[in-house]
């Protein structure tokens, strides 16, 4: 059963109950009133008959006078007078004024109590005058009264029911809208909004719903963008690894192959020293390849790298670029602290992307990397270069957007602006960190060991 029908049924039950109680009280009152009315009407009639009969006591009974007494009751609404002969037969009877639309039989039956009759004997055994209470007019009055009251109550009930129905209909309409909106959200459509009208309790719910869907839509968009970035970054990463393998490992493999080919010929010629030199060259090439492989693996898995701390990871990062760009001066100032895997990784990614951007786009002579805990308790990560700076025509890449998303998700802020002297670029991120974070790396490791 809908809420509207329930409320309407409840109102109907309440109204029926009050109607029942009201009817019982009205019935009881009416019974008393009719009883009182009848006996007083009969009293008045009795007095007037007695007064009229007094002159008859002294002289002979004049028929005309008797008839006048009876007809004086003609048109009375509550009393009927009858002239009875000594044997009880009715000789004359007054006409009671009848109501135009008498009350129904059942009501008359319900409201007519004991029959009120008074007999007044005439002198010299000339019969008697009988007065009878006649309640039909009184009952009809009660009935007419009740009909008006019933009509008023009926109109009132109808109006109340209509008002409740309209008010509830209006108040609940947005709820129906909300229910279908919730279904849409369940189906993954976060663009849906409901109107924030109606009673303020419900309007607050609608407002909350709209805020929720807006946030969900933003979260979904961010999620989608991060996924796209992830794919692009992965593609870029793969291309870079392929390039690295080709450029760094390829020549050494070629060298190893050449050296290995020459060794048998040298041995045939008994040029043992030269062969040993070639073997040494092969070892050197393998050593170079091992170093490159390690750095590639570390870039692929920063988590393993971060196990040894953010400062260590930053050193490795700088080493990676330093071998490729020996002309650049790197200045690293990273505190030997750990802030938990999430923050550490986010900080490392900023250092990684900031440095890679500086090297690739800025052509600087100096790059500074730093991480430090601010007085506010937050972690500041900064990469500054003195390169060409971001050109006004620079395209919107995924690197900076990815950093921004990553930091925003962790509740931090990031700014990318010109360097201290207006040259180069400074990337500065501030990450909020948990209370217990920010321990020195060694202490953190001890903690982990303890928990294990």
Residue 310 contacts residue 332 (beta carbons within 8 Å): no
d(CA 126, CA 91): 12
Q: Taking CB within 5 to 8 Å according to partner kind, which of Mg ion, ligand ADP, none is near residue 313?
A: none
Q: Is 358 in the site for ligand ADP (CB under 6 A)?
A: yes
Does 357 help bind ligand ADP (rule: CB under 6 A)? yes
Sheet of 329-334: strands edge to edge? 329-334, 366-373, 379-385, 425-431, 413-418
Site for Mg ion in 194-213 (CB under 5 A): none
**Exposure class string for 219-255: b at 16+ Cβ within 10 A, else e:** eeeeeeebeebeeebeeeeeeeeeebeeebbeebeeb
Distant-in-sequence contacts of 42-46, Cβ < 8 A, 24+ apart: 42/78, 42/79, 42/116, 42/118, 42/131, 42/133, 44/79, 45/73, 45/76, 45/79, 45/81, 45/118, 45/131, 46/118, 46/120, 46/131
Nearest distance, CB of residue 419 and ligand ADP, angstroms: 9
Residue showing tokens 């005058």: 129
Cβ nearer to ligand ADP, comparing 389 with 438: 389
Binding segment for ligand ADP (CB under 6 A), chosen from 16-24, 180-188, 206-214, 385-393, is 385-393
In whole angstroms, give the CA distance from residue 237 to residue 231: 10
Residue 362 binds ligand ADP (CB under 6 A): yes
Give helix then strand counts, H and E, for the chain.
12, 11
How many of the other CB atoms lie within 10 Å of CB of 27?
Answer: 15
- Give me the phi and psi of 451, to 5 degrees please: -70, -30
362 touches, from ligand ADP, Mg ion, none (C-beta below 5 to 8 Å by class): ligand ADP
Nearest distance, CB of residue 356 and Mg ion, angstroms: 6
Contact between 177 and 194 under an 8 Å Cβ cutoff? The reply is: yes
Only one residue has tokens 């028929």, namely 63
Residue 390 binds what, of ligand ADP, Mg ion, none (CB under 5 to 8 Å, by partner type)? Answer: ligand ADP
Chain-centroid distance, C-alpha 65: 92
253-262: Cβ within 8 A, 24+ apart: 253/285, 253/289, 255/281, 255/282, 255/285, 256/282, 256/285, 256/286, 259/285
Q: Among 54-62, 100-108, 289-297, 353-361, which window interacts with ligand ADP (CB under 6 A)? A: 353-361
Complex with Mg ion: residue 387 or 399, whichever CB lies closer: 399
| Secondary structure letter of residue 74 according to DSSP | T
Which of 45, 127, 364, 399 is in the footprint of Mg ion by CB under 5 A? 399
Q: Contact between 200 and ligand ADP (CB under 6 A)?
A: no
Is residue 394 within the footprint of ligand ADP (CB under 6 A)? yes
Tokens of 52: 């009229």
Contact flag: residue 397 with ligand ADP (CB under 6 A) = yes
Closest separation between CB of residue 428 and ligand ADP, Å?
A: 13
Q: Residue 451 binds which one of Mg ion, ligand ADP, none, with CB within 5 to 8 A depending on kind?
A: none
By the rule CB under 6 A, 10 interacts with ligand ADP: no
Residues 357-396, mask of contacts with Mg ion (x by CB under 5 A): x---------------------------------------
What residue number has its CB nearest to Mg ion? 399
Interface with ligand ADP by CB under 6 A: which range of 253-261, 279-287, 293-301, 386-394? 386-394
Closest approach of Mg ion to the CB of residue 410, in Å? 20
| 79: β partners | 133
What's the rounded Cα separation, in Å, for the pair 225 and 217?
Answer: 12
From the list ligand ADP, Mg ion, none, pick the one residue 358 interacts with, judged by a Cβ distance below 5 to 8 Å according to partner type: ligand ADP
Q: 394 is in the binding site of which of ligand ADP, Mg ion, none (Cβ under 5 to 8 A by kind)?
A: ligand ADP
Return the one option of Mg ion, ligand ADP, none that residue 438 interacts with (CB less than 5 to 8 A, by type).
none
Q: With CB cut-offs between 5 and 8 Å by kind, which of Mg ion, ligand ADP, none does residue 388 bind? A: ligand ADP
Which DSSP state fits 435? T
Considering only residues 399-438, where is the footprint of ligand ADP by CB under 6 A? 399-400, 425
The closest alpha carbon to 162, from 4, 17, 13, belongs to: 4
Q: Which residue is nearest to ligand ADP (CB)?
A: 397
Which one of residues 164, 293, 390, 409 is an interface residue with ligand ADP (CB under 6 A)? 390
Residues of this chain that bind ligand ADP (CB under 6 A): 357-358, 361-362, 385, 387-391, 394-395, 397-400, 425
Q: Where on the chain is the footprint of Mg ion (CB under 5 A)?
A: 357, 399
């Amino acid at each position: 059963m809908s809420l509207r029908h329930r409320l309407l049924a409840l109102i109907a039950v309440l109204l029926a109950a009050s109607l029942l109680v009201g009817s019982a009280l009205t019935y009881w009152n009416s019974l008393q009133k009719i009883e009182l009315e009848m006996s007083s009407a009969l009293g008045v009639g009795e007095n007037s008959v007695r007064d009229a009969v007094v002159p008859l006591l002294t002289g002979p009974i004049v028929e005309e006078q008797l008839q006048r007494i009876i007809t004086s009751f003609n048109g009375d609404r509550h009393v009927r007078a009858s002239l009875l002969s000594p044997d009880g037969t009715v000789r004359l009877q007054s006409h009671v004024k009848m109501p135009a639309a008498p009350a129904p039989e059942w009501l008359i039956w319900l409201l007519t109590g004991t029959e009120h009759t008074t007999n007044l004997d005439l002198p010299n055994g000339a019969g008697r005058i009988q007065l009878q209470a006649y309640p039909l007019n009184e009952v009809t009055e009660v009935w007419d009264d009740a009909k008006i009251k019933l009509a008023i109550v009926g109109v009132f009930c109808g109006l109340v029911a209509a008002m409740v129905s309209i008010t509830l209909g209006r108040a609940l309409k947005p709820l129906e809208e909300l229910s279908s909106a919730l279904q849409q959200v369940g189906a993954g459509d976060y663009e849906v909004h409901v109107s924030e009208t109606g009673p303020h309790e419900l309007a607050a719910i609608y407002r909350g719903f709209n805020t929720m869907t807006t946030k969900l839509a933003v979260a979904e968009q961010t999620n989608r963008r991060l996924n796209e970035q992830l794919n692009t970054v992965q593609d870029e990463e793969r291309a870079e690894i392929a390039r690295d393998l080709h450029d760094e490992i390829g020549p050494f493999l070629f060298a190893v192959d050449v050296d290995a080919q020459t060794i048998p010929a040298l041995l045939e010629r008994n040029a043992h020293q030269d062969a040993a030199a070639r073997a040494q060259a092969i070892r050197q090439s393998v050593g170079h390849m091992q170093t490159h492989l390690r750095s590639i693996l570390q870039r692929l898995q920063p988590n393993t790298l971060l196990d040894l701390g953010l400062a260590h990871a930053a050193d490795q990062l700088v080493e990676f670029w330093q071998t490729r760009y020996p002309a650049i001066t790197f200045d690293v100032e990273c505190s030997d602290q750990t802030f938990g895997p999430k923050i550490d990784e986010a900080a490392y990614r900023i250092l990684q992307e900031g440095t890679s951007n500086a090297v690739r786009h800025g052509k600087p002579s100096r790059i500074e990397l730093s991480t430090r805990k601010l007085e506010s308790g937050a972690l500041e990560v900064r990469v500054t270069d003195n390169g060409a700076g971001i050109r006004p025509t620079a395209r919107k890449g995924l690197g900076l957007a990815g950093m921004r998303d990553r930091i925003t998700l962790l509740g931090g802020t990031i700014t990318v602006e010109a360097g201290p002297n207006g040259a180069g670029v400074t990337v500065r991120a501030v990450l909020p960190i948990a209370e217990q974070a920010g321990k020195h790396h060694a202490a953190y490791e001890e903690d982990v060991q303890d928990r294990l």
